[in-house]
Amino acid sequence: MKNRPIGIFDSGLGGLTAVKELLNILPNENIIYFGDTGRVPYGSKSRDTILKYAIQDIEFLKSMNVKMIIAACGTVSSIIGGSNVNIDIPFTGVVEPTAMAASASTKNGKIGIIGTTATIKSGAYKHALKKINSSFNVFEQDCPMFVPLVENGFIKDNDKAALIIAEKYLYSLREKGIDTLILGCTHYPIIKKLISKVMGPTVKLIDSGSETALFAANLLYSLDYISTRNTKGVCSFFVSDTVEGFSKTASLFLGRNINQDVKIVDIDSYTI
């Protein structure tokens, strides 16, 4: 069990922000990453469709004999928590770890949340924060254009189009006087500098990918599931659509070059 890989999935490439952190804190672990690039984004889909996709993604990773699954997707994490999906191996989404980090960060109790439309509509982050401290003032904003911006490379903090969109989404949160902002989608850390530029230096940004990776590592330690290998772990990448350009984009997310082959998965063939 200890030397089995860790499985991570996301609707696209955003979950690679969690992979990046895991590579830093658990360098001897093998990681299998699935990006559902053929059906991205999940955030604009119905709850039933998101659940269907999540189950298929989970079943694919289970077929790869993983020891743990991380749903590095805010949309999936916000939906699956209220479902009766039985995963039967160690599992975490991004909501609980990120909410805990935000609650520890805030000084004035005013916390903002940005995410996909489905994530914000679910209220999952707000519920998790209120469960920690019912006196928190929580403000939510969906940002449906952020994922397409990231997936299409509009990520520089001086990109005029991205700045206009970010200002439109974030203005109301800035005016609320929040001191902590949850990046409730693992795509968003890629435009962290852009978001920080709009929000200002006094607002602490909580990276859902990074916080989830730390939480997952602690869970593996508590279960005594840490790899016993003395060699550096290997990442394997799978997608549901074309592999063209994946290495270039993935290298951007991971902050390092990747040379591995990327394989296409017929994700519709995986069902419970």
pLDDT exceeds 80 at position 196: yes
Q: Give 68's strand partners.
A: 6
> Of 208, 223, 240, which residue is a domain's last?
208
Q: Is there a domain that residue 31 lies in? A: yes
Q: Examine the domain organization and report whether 204 and 142 are in the same domain.
A: yes
The answer to whether 79 touches 111, Cβ cutoff 8 Å, is: no
The pLDDT mean for the chain works out to 92
Please indicate, yes or no, whether residues 100 and 173 belong to a single structural domain of this protein. yes
What six digits make up the tokens of 177? Answer: 């006087």
Q: Cα(88)–Cα(266) distance, rounded to whole angstroms?
A: 23
Closest CA to 10 of 90, 67, 69, 82: 69
Report residue 68's pLDDT band, with 50, 70 and 90 as the boundaries: very high
Residues 173 and 217 in one domain: no
In a domain, 103, yes or no: yes
Claim to verify: residue 203 and residue 143 sit in the same structural domain? yes
Q: Which domain holds residue 142?
A: 95-208
pLDDT digits (tens, 9 = 90+) for 126-173: 999 999 999 999 999 999 999 889 888 888 889 999 999 999 999 999
Residue 253 has pLDDT above 70, yes or no: yes
Domain-ending residue, one of 159, 187, 208: 208
Domain boundary among the residues 208, 240, 255 is at: 208
Whether 100 and 89 share a structural domain: no
Does one domain contain both 232 and 189? no
Could you give the CA distance from residue 174 to residue 169 in angstroms, rounded to a whole number?
10
Contact 35, 10 (CB under 8 A): yes
pLDDT above 70: percentage of residues in the chain: 99
Where in the sequence numbering do the catalytic residues fall? 73, 185
pLDDT band at 244 (very low <50, low <70, confident <90, very high): confident
Same domain? For 124 and 154 the reply is yes
Are residues 128 and 192 located together in one domain of the fold?
A: yes
**pLDDT (0 to 100) of residue 12:** 87
Does a cis peptide bond (omega within 30 degrees of 0) precede residue 41? Answer: yes
pLDDT value at 258 more than 80: no
Residues 170 and 180 in one domain: yes
* pLDDT of 272: 65
- Over range 247-258, report the average pLDDT: 79
Any idea what the CATH number is for the domain that residue 181 is in? Answer: 3.40.50.1860
- Does position 71 have pLDDT exceeding 70, yes or no? yes
- pTM flag (> 0.85): yes
In a domain, 1, yes or no: no
51 plus 150 within the same structural domain: no
* Rounded CA separation 139/178 (Å): 8
Tell whether 204 and 104 lie within a shared domain: yes
Q: How many domains does the chain have?
A: 2
